[in-house]
Structure formats: structure tokens, C-alpha cells
Amino acid sequence: MLNMLFQSAKKEFDALSEIADLVAPSSTSREEFIEECKSGAFDGVVAAYRTFDSVTITGRIDSELMENLPKSLKFIAHNGMCFALVQTNFNQLIGTFL
């Protein structure tokens, strides 16, 4: 997934890495991603960019996922128009912009 990002937007990705620490998950399944969140691997992360294909790793944005994302997360950028992948009570998103 990140390999595709690097191929299509490497210049932009490199520019972004000059102003921010970029963190990518190493997990390959939802279960692993949630465990990675619980481990503190993403503590301090304030923004996440979600591609359409990342649903294969994170699954839908639902209550379980929201409860395990870092408390520091304030922004989720969702690439695409498929909000069917967002299935959560929007009250859980208070303080987080989607």
C-alpha cells in the first residue's frame, strides 16, 4: 500500500517528511493494527491519512477502531467518497475531524 503511495506521490511525501515525522503501520490485518495501536506505536500521532485500500488493514472506522486509536489523533483524512467505510456513532469523533 505504501509502495503505491511512494510511486504516485513520492515528491509530495518527501516534502511532507521535512515538516513532520511520518509513521506507517507495520501491521497487515485489522487485528494486528489494533494491537499496534494498543502498543503505543502511534502515541503522539495527530493526523492520519486513510486510503481506500487501507480498509484491508484497518477495516471500517467503527467503535472498536475509534476506541483503540491514539488519544492524540485529531484529524483523519479519508481519501474517496465511500463513507460506507465509516460506521461509527459520530459522537465518538468529538475532537477528531474526519
- Tens digits of residue pLDDT in 70-96: 999 988 887 765 554 454 555 455 555
Q: Which SS3 state, helix, strand or coil, does residue 56 take?
A: helix
Give the model's confidence band at 14: pLDDT under 50 very low, under 70 low, under 90 confident, else very high. Answer: confident
Q: Give the CA distances from residue 53 to residues 13, 38, 44, in Å, rounded to whole numbers and listed in that order.
A: 18, 22, 24
Domain residue ranges in the chain: 43-98
Closest C-alpha among 35, 58, 38 to residue 48: 58
Q: What is the pLDDT of residues 43-54, one digit of tens each?
A: 999 998 887 788
pTM: 0.72
Report the CATH architecture of 43-98: 3-Layer(aba) Sandwich (3.40)
Are the C-beta atoms of residues 41 and 47 closer than 8 Å to each other? Answer: no
